Amino acid sequence: MRKPFSLLLVAPLLGACLAGPALAAEVKQEMPGQGIAFDNKKGNCLACHAMPGTKGEMAGSIAPPLIAMKLRFPDRSKLRSQVWDATVNNPKTVMPPFGKHKVLTEDEIDKVVDFIYTL
């Protein structure tokens, strides 16, 4: 015989489902860099990198996964430099120099780095 679900356990999930677009908008407001990072006309990070919260078929596998970023880049400015122009540290990299080639604005780079730094 099945045990009934507790309303206390289901209520938060139900609230999240009912919030739908409002909840999505709230998340987007909190992390605007995620939208830029996932946008295939802007950051397009998923073309090359896997990251938490993405499905395997969405994420690329030709670059390191974006995980434990604070451990990998204790100095946030080094992560920003990597996004701005990865060729400085590795001239043979395939990562586009997003800042140097003006693919992203300085503000967009800051937002993407803020987002990536949370992973």
Predicted pLDDT of residue 61: 80
Instruction: Judge whether 117 and 70 are in contact, CB under 8 Å.
Output: yes
The angle at the Cα of 106, spanning 57 to 115, to the nearest 5 degrees, equals: 40
H helix runs in 20-50, sequence order: 21-30, 32-38
Domain boundaries, the chain: 32-116
70: left (phi over 0), alpha (psi -120 to 50) or beta: alpha
Q: Which pLDDT tens digit goes with each residue over 6-47?
A: 444 444 444 444 444 443 444 444 578 999 998 989 889 988
User: Distances from the Cα of 115 to the Cαs of 6, 54, 99, in angstroms?
Assistant: 35, 14, 17
Give the alpha-carbon dihedral of 55, 23, 30, 33, to 10 degrees: 40
Q: Which of these CATH numbers, 1.10.760.10, 3.30.360.10, 3.40.50.10860, 3.40.50.300, describes 32-116?
A: 1.10.760.10
Distance CA 20, CA 35 (A): 17
Predicted structure pTM score? 0.70
Q: Which pLDDT tens digit goes with each residue over 51-85?
A: 887 765 567 788 999 999 999 999 999 999 999 99
Q: Shortest CA distance to 59 belongs to which of 67, 41, 47?
A: 47
Q: Which pLDDT tens digit goes with each residue over 97-114?
A: 999 999 999 999 999 999
